[in-house]
Amino acid sequence: MISTDLTIRLVAGIIGIHAVYSGFEMISVRERYGKAGIMRWEPTRLYIEHIPGFSLIEPLLNRIVGVAIVRVVVGVGLAIAATLNAPVLILGTFATGLLATDLVIVLRHSVGLSGAHQMSLVVSTGLTVAVLAPSGSLLELTGIGFIAAQGILGYFISGVTKGMGNAWRSGDAVLLVLSTTTWGHPWFYEKARSFPGLTALASHGVVLFEIAFPVILLLSPPLVAAIFGVALAMHISIAFAMGINGFITSFSSTYPAIYFVSRQVPTIL
């Protein structure tokens, strides 16, 4: 049985690594946030200037590259604190810092964020609650359960959404994605065209795997580990083929919480 403390620290370590990667990713495209960039501040400002307290947070929203730098520092600190079993106060400080950068980044981008950023916000929220809650309390379990539930729903809803699309039902989705300029890859596209049967199987397999993901709560530890392995392989494949890397760390940060919850289900049933 995995303990709550180990679960929290595993989640913290992985999401800390994700924060470092995603922060550097934003810094690498900082020109997009410049005065002539596609994500410049003034157009975005029009969407959110009506929210309460806007004047207080505008300096942060207008300096998003600086927030990304802070995010890298916070991510490093969180990963180190989790690894070295640092006191709760230190771990909680870094977790709260990560949550703050997540909120600013999501608020700053009215469009253009991947699901990896949304998952990071979910994880940092649950993590902050779990870390700051009294050890062994219901609130601590709620934080862990929230992360696990969102991780499972992330796969399930993605699968349902894909299943509603004609391209995924026909088996053409993977080939169509790989053929695009934005998300495609010439080598992978040519290989996919050479094996249409396997490509269609991959499309259907992704949909079925994601829809069936909630079953993980009822499986034995070896099968849970196998499901995590398949999910990671899927994310790594997407990273190589499409260049979307953030899903690897953002979604895998929910795995310790999902495993923890899956070990509680037999005791409830």
Among 147, 148, 106, which Cα is nearest to 128's?
147
pLDDT digits (tens, 9 = 90+) for 137-172: 999 999 999 999 999 999 999 999 998 888 788 877
Interatomic CA distance for residues 118 and 205, integer angstroms: 24
Alpha-carbon torsion angle 178, 15, 127, 230, nearest 10: 50
Q: Higher confidence at residue 74 or residue 60?
A: 74
Q: Which two tokens stand for residue 74?
A: 């916070």
Under 8 Å between Cβ of 22 and 76: no
Asked whether the predicted pLDDT for residue 112 surpasses 90, the reply is: no
Reduce the DSSP state of residue 112 to 3 states and report it: coil
User: For residue 248, what is the DSSP state?
Assistant: H
Altogether, the residues listed in the chain come to a count of: 269
114-131 residue pLDDT tens: 788 899 999 999 999 999
Q: Do the Cβ atoms of 260 and 151 come closer than 8 Å?
A: no
Q: Fill in the DSSP letter of residue 172.
A: -
Give pLDDT tens digits for 76-95: 999 999 999 999 999 999 99
User: Concatenated DSSP letters for 63-109?
Assistant: THHHHHHHHHHHHHHHHHHHHTT--HHHHHHHHHHHHHHHHHHHHH-
Tell me how far the alpha carbon of residue 5 is from its chain's centroid: 21
pLDDT given at position 173: 77
pLDDT band at 265 (very low <50, low <70, confident <90, very high): confident
What is the reported pTM? 0.90
- Residue 182: per-residue pLDDT: 59
